[in-house]
């Protein structure tokens, strides 16, 4: 791949050559594409199943199997399940049972307790239900323990601990036509009947390992970041020093968003730390700060919803939609060259802002010129991030290896104020694999370029399964009307109406990335989906309906309407360095991360749902 055409806009003021830079992006991309795509990873099962043991519960939990009936079962106790539970309680639903394989609520924040774990979306945007909970996060970018506590507090406030089933894995959902109920089977022997089921299995939940030759041979201590072994490392999720590593040679494979956050803690604690890097992450300034009491004092009712909405709009280069009093700002209300204020104003909204600055005095730009300006804004931002590396990391070779050469949103952008500094420690060694990854794992350690690095402990920061069938990731199949399997129905790609309903699966609702909008603030999307679902279920319950189900026409229309937009996004992402966003650089995976998603902005999608509710006829659903 290359971008050899000249830019039509003036690029003479830039202190880099944009064409050369884009060429370098493509070279870096091409050397990383693995011929096996997602097939390069090792599924966690069989001899590897101890990698997903839950270290946070007392072993040996047992209970009697349940053979009963509830009105609503929600699968998943993360934010999706919690928000659905909260919205249903607000709608007056009393009989709710949440099922989760974890030992408590929190979803991703239950599992990801690695030291330094933090949310990189501003807390005032990311935390759901802040006004209802009368809570303001302690700092601008919250650490995992506070987010876990907020999850638990939501569950308490909305009485979601009533009837909950933790440490329970669903093994199958089966529709029983004779009684119009779902039967939920679990690994605890349960057979629970439910009128309605909401599935919120989460997205990045199933840890994955790299299929590196010899991975089964390693004899030292080893674990995945999402199951941090504090019994071995000591320390705590709050970031206390991991004294257990003081005499240990520790290796970590992976330098994604998770690794960026835990590496500073490992560097501080380990006798020696070896970071095995395949692709560097872009790491921008974090500038975290405690929440200002003066700012809190200025907040007006409705501020949280507005901030969440503004963030989505800003990310897509738009203007925040409403004034502080809630009324809409139209573009025509703005004076010439005026843009509305970016209240969030952080690394996420920065690219959109720099694009606005570049277009400020140029009202008549062609589509191609706008595209070029977006590219230049991105290249400029990434140059700034690369220059930041040189300004912090003392060893030049290490600094060069830590520079990310790809478009900013090709991989999860990272933000940290201690990560790069960690490489100035004498005990920390970056082992760059030049895009090729770890060559081999032996009984004693890791091999790169024929050299063996002996390790006492090897940590896998290698991410989560994406790209296999929806039900494989969920861990169970759903058998709907006439014995139809959801696995089979969705094998060639998702098929829903509004992302929430699928024909043949009455009273079964899907939350998460199932043909819905992509937005960086996942909790906002889950909240909107939960609200929408509660509206439909309330209507159905008030009308004593037996079933609610998508019509074939509505589903077909939805799938058709999102195809073009999502295909355009996929085409754009295929130019990126490989990762889970773009099927590891391969086309043609109907179950990939971006495949068949809505394709428009979060703001557009949420408006589409709210217009549908306002219209009131529930068009596209058959309610009987």
Separation CA 602–CA 621 (nearest Å) = 23
Task: Between 261 and 507, name the residue whose CB sits nearer to ligand NDP.
Answer: 261
Among 186, 255, 507, 591, binds ligand NDP (CB under 6 A): 255
Task: Between 480 and 585, name the residue whose CB sits nearer to ligand NDP.
Answer: 585
Task: Between 165 and 259, name the residue whose CB sits nearer to ligand NDP.
Answer: 259
What's the min distance (Å) between Cβ of 372 and ligand NDP?
Answer: 27
Q: What sign does the dihedral 563-565-568-570 (CA atoms) show?
A: negative
What's the min distance (Å) between Cβ of 264 and ligand NDP?
Answer: 14
Burial 537-548 (b: 16+ CB within 10 A, else e): bbbbbeeebebb
Span of 95-103, 274-282, 342-350, 510-518 interacting with ligand NDP by CB under 6 A: 274-282
Q: Answer yes or no whether residue 157 interacts with ligand NDP by CB under 6 A.
A: no
Q: Answer yes or no whether residue 458 interacts with ligand NDP by CB under 6 A.
A: no
Task: Between 32 and 374, name the residue whose CB sits nearer to ligand NDP.
Answer: 32
Instruction: Give me the torsion for CA of 459, 218, 411, 608, rounded to 10°.
Output: -80
What's the min distance (Å) between Cβ of 402 and ligand NDP?
Answer: 12
Among 462, 519, 566, 589, binds ligand NDP (CB under 6 A): 462
Size of the site for ligand NDP (CB under 6 A): 27
Task: Between 465 and 528, name the residue whose CB sits nearer to ligand NDP.
Answer: 465
Q: Answer yes or no whether residue 438 interacts with ligand NDP by CB under 6 A.
A: yes
Phi, psi angles (nearest 5°) of residue 550: -65, 145
Bridge partners of 42? 209
Q: Which of 565, 592, 568, 585 is nearest to 494 (CA)?
A: 592
Separation CA 97–CA 104 (nearest Å) = 13
Q: Answer yes or no whether residue 412 interacts with ligand NDP by CB under 6 A.
A: yes
Among 22, 75, 119, 550, binds ligand NDP (CB under 6 A): 119
Name residues contacting ligand NDP, limited to 16-35 (CB under 6 A).
32
Span of 215-223, 250-258, 333-341, 417-425 interacting with ligand NDP by CB under 6 A: 250-258
Q: Answer yes or no whether residue 142 interacts with ligand NDP by CB under 6 A.
A: no
Burial class (CB in 10 A: 0-12, 13-18, 19+), 291: middle
Name residues contacting ligand NDP, limited to 570-609 (CB under 6 A).
579-580
Task: Between 18 and 435, name the residue whose CB sits nearer to ligand NDP.
Answer: 435
What's the min distance (Å) between Cβ of 578 and ligand NDP?
Answer: 6
Task: Between 118 and 496, name the residue whose CB sits nearer to ligand NDP.
Answer: 118
Q: Answer yes or no whether residue 257 interacts with ligand NDP by CB under 6 A.
A: yes
Task: Between 125 and 183, name the residue whose CB sits nearer to ligand NDP.
Answer: 125
Residue span 184-223 as binding mask against ligand NDP, x where in contact by CB under 6 A, dash where not: --------------------x-----x-x-----------
Q: Report whether 384 contacts 413 (CB < 8 A).
A: no
Helix (H) or strand (E) holding 306: helix 303-315
Separation CA 531–CA 91 (nearest Å) = 10
Q: What sign does the dihedral 119-120-121-123 (CA atoms) show?
A: positive
Separation CA 99–CA 101 (nearest Å) = 7
Q: Which of 325, 391, 322, 382 is nearest to 350 (CA)?
A: 382
Q: Answer yes or no whether residue 252 interacts with ligand NDP by CB under 6 A.
A: no
Q: Report whether 274 contacts 249 (CB < 8 A).
A: yes
Q: Which of 173, 196, 201, 180 is nearest to 97 (CA)?
A: 196
Span of 114-122, 154-162, 187-195, 527-535 interacting with ligand NDP by CB under 6 A: 114-122
Separation CA 364–CA 135 (nearest Å) = 45
Q: Answer yes or no whether residue 276 interacts with ligand NDP by CB under 6 A.
A: yes
User: What is the pairing mode between strands 181-186 and 170-176?
Assistant: antiparallel
Q: What sign does the dihedral 543-545-547-551 (CA atoms) show?
A: negative
Span of 94-102, 252-260, 339-347, 386-394 interacting with ligand NDP by CB under 6 A: 252-260
Rule CB under 6 A: which residues touch ligand NDP?
32, 118-121, 204, 210, 212, 253-259, 276, 278-279, 412, 437-438, 461-464, 579-580
């Amino acid at each position: 791949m290359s971008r050899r055409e000249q830019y039509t806009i003036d690029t003479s003021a830039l202190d880099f050559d944009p064409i050369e830079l884009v060429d370098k992006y493509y070279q870096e991309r091409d050397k990383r594409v693995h011929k096996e795509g997602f097939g390069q990873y090792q599924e966690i099962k069989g001899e590897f199943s101890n990698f997903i043991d839950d270290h946070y519960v007392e072993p040996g939990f047992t209970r009697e199997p349940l053979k009963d009936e509830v009105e609503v079962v929600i699968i998943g106790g993360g934010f999706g399940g919690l928000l659905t539970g909260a919205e249903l309680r607000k709608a007056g639903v009393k009989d709710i049972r949440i099922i989760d394989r974890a030992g408590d609520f929190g979803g991703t924040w239950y599992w990801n307790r690695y030291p330094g774990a933090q949310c990189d979306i501003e807390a005032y945007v990311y935390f759901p239900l802040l006004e209802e909970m009368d809570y303001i996060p302690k700092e601008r970018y919250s650490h995992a323990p506070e987010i876990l506590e907020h999850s638990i507090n939501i569950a308490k406030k909305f009485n979601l601990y009533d009837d909950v089933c933790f440490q329970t894995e669903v093994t199958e959902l089966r529709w029983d036509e004779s009684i119009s109920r779902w039967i939920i089977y679990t690994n605890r022997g349960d057979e629970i009947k439910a009128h309605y089921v909401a599935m919120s299995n989460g997205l990045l939940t199933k840890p994955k390992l790299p299929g590196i030759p010899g991975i089964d041979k390693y004899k030292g201590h080893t674990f995945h970041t999402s199951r941090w072994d504090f019994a071995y490392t000591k320390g705590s999720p709050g970031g206390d020093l991991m004294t257990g590593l003081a005499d240990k040679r520790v290796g970590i494979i992976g330098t994604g968003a998770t690794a960026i956050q835990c590496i500073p803690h490992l560097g501080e604690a380990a006798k020696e730390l070896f970071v095995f890097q395949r692709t560097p992450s872009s790491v921008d300034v974090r500038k975290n700060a405690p929440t200002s009491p003066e700012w809190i004092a200025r907040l007006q009712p409705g501020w949280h919803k507005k901030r969440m909405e503004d963030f989505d709009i800003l990310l897509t280069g738009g203007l925040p939609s409403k004034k502080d009093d809630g009324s809409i700002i139209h573009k025509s209300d703005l004076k010439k060259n005026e843009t509305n204020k970016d209240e969030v104003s952080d690394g996420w909204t920065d690219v959109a802002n720099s694009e606005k600055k570049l277009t400020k005095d140029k009202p008549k730009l062609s589509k191609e010129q706008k595209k070029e300006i977006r590219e230049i804004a991105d290249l400029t931002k990434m140059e700034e991030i690369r220059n930041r590396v040189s300004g912090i990391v003392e060893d030049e070779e290490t600094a060069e290896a830590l520079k990310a050469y790809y478009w900013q949103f090709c991989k999860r952008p990272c933000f940290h104020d201690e990560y790069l500094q960690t490489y100035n420690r004498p005990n920390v060694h970056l082992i760059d694999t030049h895009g090729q990854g770890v060559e081999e794992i032996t009984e004693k350690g890791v091999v790169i370029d024929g050299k063996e690095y002996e390790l006492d402990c090897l940590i896998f920061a290698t991410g989560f399964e994406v790209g296999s069938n929806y039900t494989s990731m969920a861990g169970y199949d759903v058998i709907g009307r006439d014995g139809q399997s959801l696995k089979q129905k969705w094998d060639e790609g998702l098929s829903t109406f509004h992302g929430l309903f699928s024909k043949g699966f009455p009273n079964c609702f899907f939350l998460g990335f199932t043909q819905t909008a992509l937005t960086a603030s996942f909790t906002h999307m889950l909240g909107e989906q939960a609200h929408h679902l509660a509206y439909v279920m309330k209507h159905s319950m008030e009308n004593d309906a037996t079933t609610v189900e998508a019509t074939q026409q509505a589903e077909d229309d939805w799938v058709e309407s999102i195809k073009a937009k999502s295909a355009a996004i996929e085409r754009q992402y295929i130019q990126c360095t490989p990762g889970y966003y773009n099927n590891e650089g391969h086309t043609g995976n109907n179950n990939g991360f971006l495949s068949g998603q809505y394709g428009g902005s979060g703001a557009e999608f949420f408006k589409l749902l709210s217009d549908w509710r306002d219209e009131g006829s529930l068009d596209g659903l058959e309610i009987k």
